[in-house]
Amino acid sequence: MSNKTFLSGSDTPSFGGGRGEDNIILKAENISKQYRLGQVGTGTLSHDVNRWWHQIRGKEDPYLKIGDVNDRSTKGSSDYVWALKDINFEVERGEVLGIIGKNGAGKSTLLKILSRVTAPTTGSIKFGGRVASLLEVGTGFNGEMTGRENVYLNGAILGMTKKEITAKLDEIIDFSGCERYIDTPVKRYSSGMTVRLAFAVAAFLEPEILIIDEVLAVGDAEFQKKAIGKMQDISREGGRTVLFVSHNMAAIKQLCTKTIMMENGTIVFEGNTNKAIDYYLQSNQYEGYRGHYVNEAVQESGIVSLAIVDKNDEIRTEFGFDEAIGINVKLQVAEQYLNAYLGFRLVDRNERVIFTSEIKLSEKINQAGMHKFEVNLPEKFLVPNQFNLTFALHVPNVVLIDCLDDCLSFEIIETGSDLYKYAGTDFGCVYVNCDWKKLN
């Protein structure tokens, strides 16, 4: 097929690297991207003149050296910032590469460079195949044109020829589930329908490398499932390479054979997807959650400290569904309260009370002083959601010694559990592994 030689004409016949890399389809070397902060436009002319003056004298670009690392929270010293810094990676043919990281880690900038929307400031990327990108589907859709016309237009924008689209038109329409509306202008479509149609076009593209950014954030659960399935088919059967950026750990886990974790414009982890997700959960703790509580001022009786920890005793606030969660409690008990109870109540984001648990201190301790406890929430128990904990130390119906409303909070993140296949349905607050017996 003639279109396989598409985009050729590069005058670099071979790369100098080692042999045995025949299977590498994409190679990124030292990519960096610099942005100018503040008001772009003011002072550009003087900077341009300065840049040009350096250039004609054969000197380095004066603005290239002064960039800071891209960290939103700290104030940098210069107007220029590195959104990406020295990114190196390789992708093999047929691999599905996940790219994860916090907002602002540089994922989208990287994808923009890979999809040739913007050029890197330094470095180079070599491609061994056609690239098509699917960044926020539906771009290039024209509201005045019908679904069918837009399939052609969008397909052509993504690099297909009219012939290729015609050959696949029925499949595309069928996959999108928009048959009835296909001759209606797209402006009359619901946003979900637009996305379905756009994804369908892209799914039937035949590039060797497909770049996808957060498409799965839209569409209903059924369509998301269909989309993930289609993407798996693309990479497995089609032997095509997919680069996939998402915040959806479940989708990443399901799809990706290798994952890159980014932070402040650099790659901090590259390799096995499960390990990358662990890394993400460990390093990417959202500041909005409270993983520990300390009250040094406790006099005679009260809760001194609380901490939510993982199996390595590290304080964390984001956990996978399949991870056990520990809570470390330190409390000061006076002689007269040895008959007290220590308990907590777990409430989810919707203020739904999940359960309560407590112990009678006298069963565990018999003298006053500082005591440490650990309580464990089993793995695969709390379903993905956000939770708040309230702790209390009390003698029932007599005295409330200490009560800490919503003192701790954490989140269970979907990382590709069995529940994910029911995404969108309410399966309750907890998942219980009941005792199932076969009787006959």
Residues that bind other proteins (CB under 8 A): 1, 3-4, 6-10, 12-15, 19, 21-25, 27, 35-36, 40-41, 44-45, 48, 93, 112-133, 135-136, 139-140, 142, 144-145, 149, 152-153, 156-162, 208, 239
Determine the Cα–Cα distance for residues 197 and 151; give it in Å rounded to an integer: 8
Cβ proximity to other proteins: between 117 and 167 the closer is 117
Cβ proximity to other proteins: between 173 and 308 the closer is 173
The DSSP code sequence of 154-209 is: HHHHTT--HHHHHHHHHHHHHHHT-GGGTTSBGGGS-HHHHHHHHHHHHHT---SE
**Least Å from the CB of residue 231 to other proteins:** 18
Cβ proximity to other proteins: between 184 and 285 the closer is 184
Residues 171/199, Cβ–Cβ less than 8 Å: no
Q: Which of 161, 156, 151, 143 is nearest to 182 (CA)?
A: 151
H helices within 18-91, ranges in order? 44-56
Q: Which amino acid belongs to residue 368?
A: A
In Å, what is the CA distance from 354 to each residue of 35, 133, 241, 383?
Answer: 47, 43, 43, 11
Cβ proximity to other proteins: between 120 and 416 the closer is 120
Cβ proximity to other proteins: between 129 and 192 the closer is 129
Cβ proximity to other proteins: between 109 and 254 the closer is 109
H helices within 95-161, ranges in order? 107-114, 147-157
Cβ proximity to other proteins: between 61 and 270 the closer is 61
Say which DSSP state 380 is in. S
**Least Å from the CB of residue 42 to other proteins:** 11
**Least Å from the CB of residue 258 to other proteins:** 18
**Least Å from the CB of residue 412 to other proteins:** 33
Both tokens of 427, joined, read 């399966």
Cβ proximity to other proteins: between 124 and 336 the closer is 124
CB atoms within 10 A of CB 78: 12
Both tokens of 398, joined, read 């007599």
**Least Å from the CB of residue 274 to other proteins:** 28
| Residue reference for tokens 């009219």 | 162
Q: Which of 281, 299, 263, 279 is nearest to 110 (CA)?
A: 263
Q: Which of 265, 392, 240, 384 is nearest to 325 (CA)?
A: 384
In Å, what is the CA distance from 317 to each residue of 4, 81, 198, 279, 326?
Answer: 48, 30, 37, 13, 11
Residues 110/26, Cβ–Cβ less than 8 Å: no
**Least Å from the CB of residue 277 to other proteins:** 27
**Least Å from the CB of residue 36 to other proteins:** 8
Cβ proximity to other proteins: between 194 and 388 the closer is 194
Q: How far is CA 160 from the centre of its chain?
A: 30
Residues 235/241, Cβ–Cβ less than 8 Å: yes
**Least Å from the CB of residue 183 to other proteins:** 14
**Least Å from the CB of residue 10 to other proteins:** 4
**Least Å from the CB of residue 204 to other proteins:** 16
Cβ proximity to other proteins: between 14 and 397 the closer is 14
What residues have CB less than 8 Å from 208, skipping those under 6 apart?
A: 25, 93, 128, 129, 130, 131, 240, 241
Cβ proximity to other proteins: between 103 and 367 the closer is 103
